Chains A and B, each alone.
Chain A
Amino acid sequence: MKIAIPTEDKSMEKGVCMSFGRAPYFLIYDMETGESMFAENSAANSRGGAGIKAAQAVVDTGAEALLTPRCGENAAGVIQAANLKIYKTMNDSIQDNIDAFKSGKLSLLDEIHAGFHGKGGE
């Protein structure tokens, strides 16, 4: 299966991005082959609805799970409609989270926030 992670840059060495909808990149990681692919998030600069557009793009990659620190309700609506599971990342290291996911240590993200709608959120 493939998993998706929002990332700060297109490198395994860089961190997980705190924002889902406005993350600069998404890592699409193949759990079987270990193949990694970074996709630019075309929704990052949207005036609105970034979460919806980003979620659509993640679903379109064929990923079956999303690993993210947080997720807004509109994005979660798209992700869940596509039957993807959303897991909460444990820290900002991409590799740590992949390893934790592999060994079943990540829990499902149960807090879906109402969305920041262009008002930051840090």
Chain B
Amino acid sequence: MKTAVLSGKGGTGKTLVSVNLAAASEEAVYIDCDVEEPNGYLFFKPEKVVAENVTVKIPLADEGLCDGCRKCTDFCKFNALAYINEKLLVFNEVCHSCGGCVLICPQKALTERDKTIGEIQKGVSEQVQVITGILNTGEASGIPIIKNLLQRIPSGHGDIFIDCPPGSACIVMESIKDADYCVLVAEPTLFGVHNLSLVHDLVKLFGKPHGVVLNKCLEGDNPSEKYCEENNIKILGKIPYDNELGTLNSNGLIAARESEKYRGIFAALLQVVTGEVRNATIIDS
């Protein structure tokens, strides 16, 4: 089963939930798709880490063949090309690697070369395979890295947890596209409800079975809980606003590995999620 964990903004507890669910599982793969600021590895501290570059294609002009017709500069919707002083200028960071300029060039003056935009690191932390996507600073889009991460999920390694980037933009859509189930993490505030509604709309749009984990729960009213009740969203579990959990987390420790209480909470949550995924798969097939 592939479970994506997402939320409408950063800091709600995506990494907390996905790291601890993976840690509570007998055998799991944890994939950090938050490529702009991956942090799951800080908790897992994986060993035997192997890194591999991720590249995209960038056009390269052969000045001898280019006759300055400018079909490529006119074609590029991102304006990544300019033709100045009888030379083609390529703005690498504006290029979206669509390959259109190469196809359209009548002189066949354009070829493609690889440009490294980041890397994927694979390592092991106890029974969890930890796979981290890292986008280099200054690069425009992490989507090629996420595609790469999700293309090569090792099969037959138990539960797969995808820690998504925050928000509901393209980069999140790419992360949840192949997920069997989506776990939405929500904070107990009005602001939290707004963010929850954004990702709720997204998972509905994608037709993904989903449920909510209520994080940072306090005594009294929880607006996110109310939102779930009003919209018939399954509440998978509640995580308390708790000093012990905050301290473990701040020290880069995995609560489900360090504390009996949290091992119990996340094992129970895992069981609920597993049951939901199973139901969703049965209904789907």
Residues of A within 8 A of B (CB): 43, 46-50, 52-53, 55-56, 59, 74, 77-78, 81-83
Shortest C-beta distance, A77 to chain B (Å), equals 7
A78-B82 contact in complex given A49-B94, A52-B94, C-beta closer than 8 Å = yes
Partner of A74, one of B73, B84, B85, B94: B94
Per DSSP, are chain A's interface residues mostly helix, strand or loop, or mixed? helix
Cross-chain contact B83 with A74 (CB below 8 angstroms): no
Residues of A near B80 (CB, < 8 A) are: 49, 52
Shortest C-beta distance, B86 to chain A (Å), equals 11
Cross-chain contact B79 with A81 (CB below 8 angstroms): no
Cross-chain contact A82 with B84 (CB below 8 angstroms): yes
**Per-residue interface assignment for chain B, residues 64 to 79, with 1 indicating a CB less than 8 Å from any chain A CB and 0 otherwise:** 0000000001001111
Cross-chain contact A81 with B77 (CB below 8 angstroms): no
Residues of B near A77 (CB, < 8 A) are: 89, 91
Is B261 an interface residue when CB atoms closer than 8 A count as contact? no
Is B226 an interface residue when CB atoms closer than 8 A count as contact? no
Contacts between chains A and B (CB distance < 8 A), count = 43
Residues of A near B89 (CB, < 8 A) are: 77-78, 81
Is B87 an interface residue when CB atoms closer than 8 A count as contact? yes
Cross-chain contact B84 with A47 (CB below 8 angstroms): no
Residues of B within 8 A of A (CB): 73, 76-85, 87, 89, 91, 94
A50-B91 contact in complex given A56-B84, A82-B85, C-beta closer than 8 Å = no
Bound CA–CA A46/B94 (angstroms):
12
Shortest C-beta distance, B279 to chain A (Å), equals 41
Partner of A47, one of B77, B85, B87: B77
Given contacts A56-B84, A81-B87, 5 further A-B contacts (CB under 8 A): A47-B77, A49-B91, A52-B82, A53-B82, A77-B89
Residues of B near A55 (CB, < 8 A) are: 82
Bound CA–CA A53/B89 (angstroms):
12
Residues of B near A59 (CB, < 8 A) are: 84
Q: Can you list 22 A-B contacts with CB-CB less than 8 angstroms, sorted by A residue number?
A: A43-B79, A47-B78, A48-B78, A48-B94, A49-B76, A49-B78, A49-B79, A49-B94, A52-B79, A52-B81, A52-B82, A53-B79, A53-B82, A55-B82, A56-B82, A77-B89, A81-B82, A81-B84, A81-B85, A81-B87, A82-B84, A82-B85
Q: Which 8 interchain pairs have the tightest Cβ spacing? A: A49-B79, A53-B79, A81-B84, A52-B79, A56-B82, A82-B84, A49-B94, A78-B82
Bound CA–CA A83/B87 (angstroms):
13
Bound CA–CA A46/B78 (angstroms):
8
Residues of B near A83 (CB, < 8 A) are: 85
Bound CA–CA A52/B79 (angstroms):
6
